[in-house]
Chain A
Amino acid sequence: MESIPILKMGKSLLVSIQVDMHDRLAMRLQDDLTARIAQTRARGVLIDISALEVVDSFIGRMLANIAAMARILDARTVVVGMRPAVAITLVELGLSLPGVRTALNVEKGMELIADMQAGGENGRHQT
């Protein structure tokens, strides 16, 4: 069965969705990703959806769910590269993903994750 590769970069996981998502693939990604976060103790998750042209409410909800699950496992999620049409669709569907951080491209997403991690670590070291 096909699955979406999850790459580890430092303390972050990188997920690049390059194929059309269907529901089963989305569920599989959810399982794989939560397992990988727990296994690698990743602090950040970057999901690149720049190749994703079509989203429906299921995929939208899945993105929100993944972010919420990652949050529970102490990792911050950044969704990057959303296309204008996808953004409009999600908003029209009433899914504005309030718990998810977003960035325009992977580069900015990595910066955001680095900032968040630096902020968190400084806070801990100071005590």
Chain B
Amino acid sequence: MIARQQQEMLELSTPVVQLWDGIVALPLIGTLDSARTQIVMESLLQKIVETGAGIAVIDITGVPMVDTLVAQHLLKTVAAARLMGAECIISGIRPQIAQTIVHLGVDLNDVITKATLADAFSIALQRLGLTVAHRT
């Protein structure tokens, strides 16, 4: 019973949403552990295949704490998405988390990081050669 609930919770906790044609987003909420990251990674990659997305935005606004393990998991997800031919943008990094990441010595140089999901989305649109304009 509890195992089944856990399984359901895992599935519920990792929706992959399509933001635009070619852009998917993964809003992560809550603490990431190994089991959860595994499912997150699988569902993201599956969605990339389904939608043919070229860009994936991983939003970690709702992740309360990032330690080396979580950072490692994130980097793995980014690497796996890259292998599939999709580019990853990590967004929603709070100042506190940015400090922690630097103190931990985690190397995020190869990954595009943005402070907010809005910034990530605008970069994603730019990459796809799209612009958002006011109606005149």
Query: Residues of A with Cβ closer than 8 Å to B?
Result: 79-80, 82-84, 86-88, 90-92, 96-97, 102-105, 108-109
Contact = CB atoms under 8 A, between A and B. Distances in A.
Interface residues of B, number: 18
Contact of A84 (B49, B76, B79): B49
A104 B83 contact: no
Contacts, number: 53
A79 B84 CA distance: 9
Contact of A108 (B45, B46, B76, B85): B85
B82 interface: yes
B42 interface: yes
B54 A102 contact: no
Interface of B: 41-42, 45-46, 48-49, 52-54, 76, 79-86
Contacts of B76: 91-92
A91 B54 contact: no
A91 B86 contact: no
B54 A87 contact: no
A86 B46 CA distance: 12
Contacts of B80: 84, 87-88, 90-91
B83 A96 contact: yes
A82 B46 CA distance: 11
A103 B85 contact: yes
A77 to B, nearest CB: 13
A102 B79 contact: no
- Find the residue from B45, B54, B81, B86 having the highest chain A CB count within 10 A: B45
A119 B10 CA distance: 45
A68 B54 CA distance: 24
Nearest to B46: A84
Contact of B52 (A83, A84, A102, A104): A104
